[in-house]
Chains A and B, each alone.
Chain A
Amino acid sequence: MKGTFTLLFFMFLVIGLQAQNVTVSGTITDAETGEGLIGASVLEKGTTNGSITDIDGNYSVSVSGSETILQISYVGYATQEIVVGNQSEINIALSLDISELEEIVVVGYGSVRKSDLTGAVASVKSEDLVKVPNANPVQALQGKVSGLQVLNTSGDPGATPVVRLRGITTLNNNNPIFVVDGVIIEEGNSLDFLNANDIESMEVLKDASATAIFGSRGSNGVIIVTTKRGKSGDVRVNVTAEQSWESVANKVGVMNGREFATYVNDITPGTYNNLDILPNTDWQDKIYTKHAPIRSYSASISGANEKVNYYFGLGYFYQQGVIPKSDLERVTTKINTTYNITKDLALGANLSIALKDKQNAPGVVNTALRAWPINTPYNEDGSFAEVFGSSNALATIAYSNNNTKSLESVGNLFLEYKFLEGFSAKSSLQFTFGLDKNKSFTPAFYVAPLQQNETSDISQKYEDRSFLLWENTLSYSKVFGKHRVNAVVGWTAQQVRSESLTGSGQNLLRDSEEFWYVDAGDRLPENEAIATGASHSTIESYLFRVNYTLLDKYLFTATYRRDGSSKFGVNNRYGVFPSFALGWNLSDESFFPEVDIIDNIKIRASWGIVGNDKIGYLDQYSTISSGRGAVFGVNEQLYPGATFSSGGNPNLRWEETEQYDIGVNFDMFNGRLTTELDYYNKTTDGILVSLEVLGYAGLGAFQTIRYNAAEVENSGFEFNTSWRDDIGDFTYQIGFLGSFVKNEVLSLGDVGADSVLTAGDIGLGQRVSQTVVGRPIGFFYGYKVAGVFQNEAQLDEFPHLSAQKVGDFIYEDTNDDGKLNADDRTVIGNSIPSFIYGFNTSFGYKGISLSLDFQGQMGSEIYNGKQAIQSTLSNFEDRFLGRWSGEGTTNENPRATQGGVNFSPSDYFVEDGSFLRLRTATLGYDLPRKWLSAIGAQSTRIYVRGTNLFTWTKYSGYSPDLGASNPLDGVLDTGVYPISRVYSAGLNVTF
């Protein structure tokens, strides 16, 4: 837009200044739509003489002679040149410019031409973002960007995926930040206030050169989201509708009733004498809904002219979820507007508002896997029956009522003023306001002694969050002959605040929903509770960046940011985050041989430091809290008390990540083959990690203090290549991307439990993960199984634990000291994949298109914790069917036991998490234009799509693409809400 107006202004100035000989006129149209293009430039090449097209695309220009070359250009379209000859009417149809080189890439605090880019930045466009039927647009990035992992901790509707860019950088929060139209999203990786249909593109900033301008926010990478804006021309209306059905892709193999009873008989002979009369309940079938619907509708209206640019979007999303009472309903609105008050002054507002209503899923997955298959859900009188092994999952669902309603509004208001030549000042006030209302009601019920609720309970929680950021930037952009300079300097101040209020009561008057308020409880003081929470933090920053391009060949970028954070003490408040980057368009050099097949080669190198302050707002403080009361008196009464609560570290300072990146871009065969290669190395030092402290310091059991303790290195190689071509009407495209990553802990500092960080709690006090120097973060740690003791002789021969008997695992005496004890536990697995990849292909023929997206990973392992926990006699997974039952029967699986020594952490429970998944397969048809004119539509597309159709994996759980929200844990499967397979059909109409 800006460019067009400048050009327009310029054109008016020059018209009429030249002596003219020949007049040429004609119409400039869009090659695709056939419509006239307003404001296209028609220029006599090598001069400043020219004209621009009117509202219908018509132009008229006087040129010096028949040998004149006319250059026709329009923003976003490929420029065309034509020799005038003796024509007096020249009509040109311009095509959209698909050349990658002219693409504009959005970076922090501005945008650059892709050819001028020095950093490692990947871009994903809107058509790829709407492919996955999920409330969170981040899901669509899975398998689309090399070095980026999008992993699921849960298939719960609206669940936030775990996003990891270029490995695991830190021991605390590894989430990249999202920046939506310049608004930094403070809430980790939750983008679920956005409808994917409203997004134009997502840019993933990977190296320090690209992220350092975000300073403390950029340490784990930055994902910039640009939402759609109006395009000049007619009002554009877009309507989409999609209906999907989801089902659990696979069940976990557990024993059926007969198998279970037989197994129990092996443990305790004679428990079940008549196997034929035992019921057989498949608890997974009982809890999972098949073909649960997902509905998604959206509509948008957009347009633009010289004065105003607008986009209005409205979306509705509903997902029932495969587990009852886990549904999500969401309404999103999007408003993007810019007003050009004068030619130098623009005012704009971007606003997203999302209303969500989420039923918080009852935790029944493990319940169903553990429940005895010989129990039935109902008694003869229809009431819920007691279920051993876990509890009655259907009763849990019936009595669970937990709902969160939220309102999230994200937006900014900005004023931009252009002055002098090339200067522009912008002031932007960004905000995120969130309000969550949670309500949980449990009626009084009795199913069994361990599954009952004595009195009905209500809990209501209100939480509000506000994020305010005021950014003031001054930009300068200028071309001096061979030099192109673009610089920005800015100051920003940010404040984040949240408060919550929780109240609870008991013994409600009635159980129906109209009574789900604390007021309906018995109001007895001892049955009521109230609690508040509050936090606040601030950051003040100065930022600077300069991009310099010489002769379109030599590119240089430098950035500087200084952040002050309230989370650190006065002496360590400020962090400085610089970066430098160089780029060289090698193929533009005169010495570069003129090879037809090579279009462009660019070499990039960057270095920079980014910081991290993603810790609690008061980690630096040792605090004193009330609420530590004591009971005294003949009539016992609680008297208030106050003392130390959390421990703090006043010496906390910024965690810093230093990153190098070397990359090269190739474009070959007239843009048909594009390839991008990057190598990076990043080292994070002073990692902010919570460590257990000396018990005698008196902080209390399980208390930790935050320290700058560890150092972690990630290095890796990334590639992204794609080939696109057409053969007549047949078009096709193939893309392949991948990344290799190596993660190593370099040091764990000299405070706290420096030798070993133990994590990975799977229950029953079993902790299966460790982090030590020289290894990846959060590897699995336990015994190595060498087989099964076949007889007493073997039991005597090998060192063993005192509790071990014939039929139990032979654990390896790894230190060869002739004794088996805790010292023999060793490295048994690693959940960080060595190779992550994705490939996609699409074919098109006369409006029919088929696209397939695959993604996968190799070398990752999962600790199958749901198999390893046997706290009480519960159902077993089917691998235990192959149990040892006498000498020579098997060397793989142990004898039948209820729990005990064979369930200690060991590599028996470590499974290969490698997988290849057909993430989406879409078959679409663009209706021919002639059919559409009748309804006035410009384009109409119908499609069917499958998501998660096939997964090739050896993993026995629901899904191998599990993520670790705490990197120290590694990837543990403790029984999560399963990921589903989805079938969809949709319609997209543009008027």
Chain B
Amino acid sequence: MKTLKAITFAVLFATLFSCGEEFLDRPPLAQLTAGTFPESEEDAVLATNAVYNILRSWSFHAGGFPILDIMSDQATKGTNPGDGGSTAPFEDFSFDPFAGHISAWWATVYEGIRRANLVITEVPSIDMDEELRTRLVAEARFLRGYSYSVLVRAFGAVPLVTTVDAPLDLTRTEAETVWSDLIFPDLEYALEHLPEKSEYPDSDLGRVTKGATKALLARLYLFRGEFDMAETMALEVINSGQYQLEPNFGDAFSEDYEGGVESIWEIPALPENNANGGNQYANTWAIRGTPNRGWGFGRPAYSWITMMQANDDPRMDASVIFLGEVLGGVVTEGEGPTPDTTYNEQGAIIEIEVYNQKVWHSGAATQESFGHNKRNIRYADVLLMAAEALNENGKSAEALPYLNEVRERARGGNTTILPDISTTDQTALRQIIADERNFELAFEGLRFWDLIRTEKAVEIMGPLGFVDGKHQLLPIPQSEIDISEGRISQNDNY
């Protein structure tokens, strides 16, 4: 009897006390769960803006530190000798597949690709303004195509992800397939559907444009040696009437001419932390010490400085900050532990403490450099691309005006320097245009690719440690190989 009572009580107890299943449902707070976004026009804009957001992500630019410039002959590691041990291997090509900069770069570019894939796969089915919808998808496809173009140039064959949730058993897709099946279709879609710079309202300055697409295509066709298409694209940009050179070379990167006439594609940023609109790209390069503007990575190479001095090229002064130089009323003193001059064992100068002026920002606070708008493509670059493509296509004479337009602006009215080029010898002109790119576009992350695509890498970077057949491509991050249990293979000779 007692037992029965006890059992009755126990059963009663169990049924009395139990929660509904909803008690155990605790969804994320202040966040959405993937799969429920984007679902409206407003969401579509948010999702697209978030693809642009990755452009301000520090690691998106070569893993944060300017390793492309440091690998090239234009810059050295920078900062003081004891600092930046993980960046030093890029100075002498001693980096290996464990390099953190490379895995961070790889992962961040793919993060952008995933964000773009969200827009590309989900936005087309949203019921919203059709024109805006098409444009947003085109913006995302531009950014995805650009991201893959970074990957194939840096790594060769890469996993091709076109869905939001990447299959975890992917292997590397041949670079040629990535070009033909993704990069060009994406950029052609963007070319067709994106407005010109002038067609956007003022409030949208900074979104990618038809002109930016053409300029990017010109750059990529040049990289692939497809000079016909490169010529077509570069000339279309020139003839679009959307762009021209800033009269003064220094203004092309300065804070006063952000989004200016020479800017084809740049990344707008505010002098704030990343969450509030900042970009640490310039801070990484900027003056270390006094005034405290940054970390001082990527020091303009002494050889580049002496070369420019030999030419009396005024672009040198506009590109490099020397110790003692007064900018914005502040004397550049640099940093104590950084030697002002470093000599080799024979007593020759190896490097001097200087900084990249192309990222200089005035103002009192360190934070100002976070507001630097990184110029991804300048009109000067397009003019030189047009000249190079024309020259390669046997139209050397037609190339000269574009080349000389750049030189004329560089000369700044001083007729004793940088004379117009008049040679139509294809080989000579090829070298002159390559040199002009070296003078004009230094520290803009372009030199390394230029040396690779013109097959000058061994000649120029060989003395620095570049190994032919190896360093044309960077190593696939070791973590990617480990995690995939070898499904993702390594590049040759790493």
Contact = CB atoms under 8 A, between A and B. Distances in A.
Interface of A: 388, 420-421, 423, 449-450, 452, 454-455, 472, 474, 476, 489, 491, 493, 526, 529, 532, 534-540, 542, 564-567, 570, 573, 617-618, 621-645, 648, 691-703, 752-756, 764-765, 802, 822, 870-873, 898-899
B153 to A, nearest CB: 16
A637 to B, nearest CB: 7
A701 B85 contact: no
B49 A695 contact: no
Nearest to B118: A643
6 contacts: A491-B17, A622-B34, A631-B277, A632-B207, A696-B110, A698-B161
Interface string B97-110: 01010011011101
Interface of B: 2, 5-6, 9-10, 13-14, 17-19, 21, 23-37, 43, 46-53, 55-57, 59, 80-83, 85-86, 94, 96, 98, 100, 103-104, 106-108, 110-115, 117-118, 158-159, 161, 165-166, 168, 170, 202-207, 258-259, 268-270, 272, 275-277, 289-292, 333, 335-337, 364-367, 477, 479-480, 482-485, 488
A873 B335 CA distance: 13
A529 B46 contact: no
Contact of B204 (A567, A632, A701, A870): A632
A753 B482 contact: yes
A927 B364 CA distance: 70
A737 to B, nearest CB: 41
A822 to B, nearest CB: 7
A729 B161 CA distance: 83
B482 A420 contact: no
Given A642-B46, A644-B114, A694 B204 contact: no
B32 A643 contact: no
Contacts of B51: 641, 643
A639 B47 CA distance: 11
A691 B33 CA distance: 21
Contacts of A699: 107, 111, 114
A417 B213 CA distance: 79
Most buried by A among B10, B24, B484: B24
B324 to A, nearest CB: 16
Nearest to B106: A695
A220 B274 CA distance: 40
Given A623-B31, A624-B37, A765-B100, 8 more contacts: A449-B333, A474-B10, A540-B18, A630-B49, A694-B166, A694-B480, A699-B111, A702-B104
B46 A640 contact: yes
Contacts of A638: 270, 276-277
B24 A564 contact: yes
A822 B96 contact: yes
Contacts of B83: 871-872
A489 to B, nearest CB: 6
A621 B34 contact: yes
Given A624-B36, A698-B110, A476 B6 contact: yes
A700 B108 contact: yes
A430 to B, nearest CB: 15
Contacts of A617: 26
Contacts of A573: 24
Contact of B206 (A455, A632, A698, A764): A632
B19 A493 contact: yes
Contacts of B14: 491, 542
A267 B27 CA distance: 59
A638 B94 CA distance: 40
Contacts of B10: 474, 489
Nearest to A492: B17
B483 A566 contact: no
Contacts of B46: 626, 640-643
Nearest to B47: A643
A536 B29 contact: yes
Given A629-B49, A802-B94, A634 B259 contact: yes
Given A644-B34, A698-B161, A802-B94, A636 B47 contact: no
Given A631-B206, A634-B203, A692-B479, A701 B59 contact: yes
A640 B48 CA distance: 10
Contacts of B161: 696-698
Nearest to B476: A695
A227 B276 CA distance: 50
A105 B232 CA distance: 88
B56 to A, nearest CB: 8
Given A622-B33, A698-B113, A633 B204 contact: yes
A692 B483 contact: yes
Nearest to A696: B159
A632 B480 contact: no
B479 A636 contact: no
Contacts of B30: 532, 534, 625
A421 B2 CA distance: 9
Contacts of B477: 695
A860 B476 CA distance: 37
Contacts of B488: 694, 696
B6 A423 contact: yes
Nearest to B206: A632
Contacts of A423: 6, 9
A638 to B, nearest CB: 4
B47 A642 contact: yes
Contacts of A640: 46, 49
